[in-house]
Chains A and B, each alone.
Chain A
Amino acid sequence: MDYYLQQLVIGLSLGMVYALVAIGFTLIFGVLNVVNFAHGEVYTIGAFVGLLIFVSFAPPLVVVLLVVLAVGAMTGVGLERFAFKPFRRFNDEATLKSRAMREATLMSSLALSIVAREGIELFFGSQFQSLPLKHMLNSPIKIGPVTIVDGDLIIFGTSFLMLAGLQFVLKHTSVGLSIRAVSNNPLGARYVGVNTDRTIAWTFAVGSGMGAVAGILVGLYYGAIFPAMGFTPGIKAFVAMVMGGLSSIPGAVVCALIIGISEAMSSIFVSSVWQDLVAYAFLIITLIFFPRGIFGGARERV
């Protein structure tokens, strides 16, 4: 029983990480109808930036997270500038969500992701970076009969704060309202004077900032920071986005938690090498039986 509870806690924190990454996909899909294939690399960059700061300054964790958030946001803006904006002539509503743009940016973001990954590898090497043990988030905590590590709590808490913060931004700030407006009706957004280009850049900033924080959190939790680390969580977050209905944030968060918990629970029954299969099984089931996402046809975006 205790073991189940323990796995549940681990699954929740794992799911929260997927949720943070999935939100980046979801937000960007909402405004542009495109998948940003370089999102996993933003996660990796977040982890490496955090590592560099830790090793050189050893500041408190909060400072590291804030810096990573900022760097992630800037990475996102740069990514949009080089991989997405050049393909957007944006003369009418058809251009913004056109198929041609979807295919062009799919290739350009994939290309940029390869450049980023290889660039990191060239600089740091492909092996795991050694992380000073004292920075790792794995001091055990005993809560009643359950033993977890402080990383679980930190990941869960940080992610929860960021999700709540995102909800606040989307509902109560002008940037957030603009993001939702462009997502809901890009043409309508132009008529109320929303600066669409700037809003799209903000969307990348918000989504990428969250993805980068997820990267450093996981890096510190597992002590595993390496150039290809963004791939697996990227795929799983992508699955969460598809399961949640592509552009629904609540849908993506719920599905990310489902995936996280299922993975952690699966290790009770099968060897953990098979864990990654859970997400792919979900993807296949979703695509076959719920092609519009498991929450049905509700098309509420962002």
Chain B
Amino acid sequence: MIAGPALEINNLHVGMGVQSILRGIDLTVQEGEIVAVIGANGVGKTTLMRAISGVYASQEGHIRFYGEDITHWPSHEIVACGLLQAPEGRQIFSAMSVRENLILGGGPLGLSELDKVLSLFPLLGDRMQQNAGSLSGGEQQMLCVARALMRRPKMLLLDEPSLGLAPKIIKLIFNLVQSIRNTGVSILLVEQNARSALAVADRAAVMDGGRIVLSGQASQLLDDPRVKETYLGGNAQHAPAANNEAAS
């Protein structure tokens, strides 16, 4: 018997008012896989992530999580079935302590996952009583991911985890993505930082204009001339500059 995919998206359409943003997205993530979605600003990556988590309503198409159709579920039920997101902009509770952020992340599990999560993010352990708003950008990003892991997710959606962070921290975050996958969590990653994302992912898809225009093994996409030209800045020397531009 072949197990179905962890996450399966069919022909997903999402619009705001008269404007349509996603125009038929098809995407699957197998259990234990890291899938990256890359693309420029404004092509609908974050909209896709918000639609999966039930923050935006979908007009057409289906989202299935382990076979269950979650397309029109409210966001708290999607979280309850193990599909968690570390959203764009972090969305941590800045006026509350790190500890309270983690408790909220745990939901009914409370702090039962705390040791496991702190072993991935030892830095947060020293900051438990501090206000989350007083953390540095990198620490806030870690808190955002840690908060999602407190709920013992089956799958983690990461929306632009590298946004606005120093290169050293970005490297650290992507190493953590690997470690999280090694604990058995499937990952869907959305990034503008295409090089780092493709390096860590198993498979990847390129989004443009609300559609997926290209997909395949991440290693293949790294070598694809079209991807190279548009998203990796032609040659390796120019890549960091291109990334900075994309991020700014």
Contact = CB atoms under 8 A, between A and B. Distances in A.
Interface stretch (A35-43, A63-71, A138-146, A180-188): A180-188
B209 to A, nearest CB: 22
B79 A193 contact: yes
B148 interface: yes
A188 B91 contact: yes
Contacts of B96: 177, 180-181, 184
Nearest to A188: B91
Given A184-B96, A191-B85, A192-B79, A177 B53 contact: no
Pick from A177, A187, A188, A192 the residue with the most CB of B within 10 Å: A192
Given A181-B104, A187-B55, A195 B91 contact: no
A177 B111 CA distance: 14
B172 interface: no
Contacts of B103: 177
A192 B55 contact: no
A185 B55 contact: no
Interface in A193-240: 193-196
Given A181-B93, A188-B91, A301-B95, A92 B148 contact: no
Nearest to A299: B95
Contact of A192 (B56, B57, B104): B104
Contacts of B92: 185, 188
A91, A189, A191: most-surrounded residue (chain B CB, <10 A)? A191
A103 interface: no
Contact of B76 (A92, A185, A187, A193): A193
Contact of B94 (A184, A187, A193): A184
B87 interface: yes
A191 B56 contact: no
A178 interface: yes
Contacts of A185: 91-94
Nearest to A193: B79
B138 to A, nearest CB: 18
A299 B133 CA distance: 12
B195 interface: no
Interface residues of A, number: 22
Interface in A280-302: 299-301
Contacts of B100: 177, 180
Contacts of A99: none
A103 to B, nearest CB: 20
B87 A191 contact: yes
A47 B80 CA distance: 41
Contacts of B54: 190
B75 interface: yes
Nearest to A171: B100
Interface in A87-131: 91-92
Contact of B105 (A187, A192, A195): A192
B188 to A, nearest CB: 14
A196 B77 CA distance: 12
A91 B147 CA distance: 23
Contacts of A174: 107
B154 interface: no
Nearest to A298: B95
A91 B95 contact: no
Nearest to A183: B95
B76 A190 contact: yes
Interface in B30-62: 50, 53-57
A185 B140 CA distance: 14
B151 interface: yes
Given A190-B75, A190-B76, A91 B57 contact: yes
21 contacts: A91-B57, A92-B50, A92-B56, A177-B100, A178-B104, A180-B96, A180-B100, A181-B104, A185-B93, A185-B94, A188-B92, A188-B93, A190-B75, A191-B55, A191-B79, A191-B87, A191-B91, A192-B147, A193-B79, A193-B107, A300-B95
Interface of B: 50, 53-57, 74-76, 78-80, 84-87, 90-96, 100, 103-105, 107, 147-148, 151
